[in-house]
Amino acid sequence: MAGDQVSAYVKRMGVCEDAEARMRLKVETRQDRDIEVPRRFRLNGDQVDVVEMVDQWFGADYRYCKIKGSDGALYILRYDELRSEWDLTMFASERAQVVTAQSSGRARPPRVAM
């Protein structure tokens, strides 16, 4: 699935009641110290490898991982500790990152080597 298609799909999630049920997310993890972190994931069948763990933080019952994917996009994945389930909570395509950086006067984000 191309980045623009993912972006459009994620935008539709907010207005389509059963969109969450249609989105298929499977996360493969690896051990990092004492916790599991995403290694790669499949979003509706398309594989995205994690090339960088940008940030990680904890909520009451959730753990959040902000990652850069092999497609250049940024993702925030939320891990539900009680149900042992991952959800996609944010997606920003590489193109959207460039537009945001240009509008704020920042330099273009580095390209991810494939």
How confident is the model at residue 81, as a pLDDT? 87
Q: Is 0.75 surpassed by the pTM of this model? A: no
Torsions phi, psi of 97, nearest 5? -65, -40
Q: Give pLDDT, residue 48.
A: 96
User: How many whole angstroms separate alpha carbon 46 and alpha carbon 37?
Assistant: 19
User: CA end-to-end span of the chain, whole Å?
Assistant: 17
Could you read off the pLDDT of 34-91 as tens digits, one per residue? 888 999 999 888 999 999 999 999 988 899 999 999 999 999 999 998 999 999 999 8
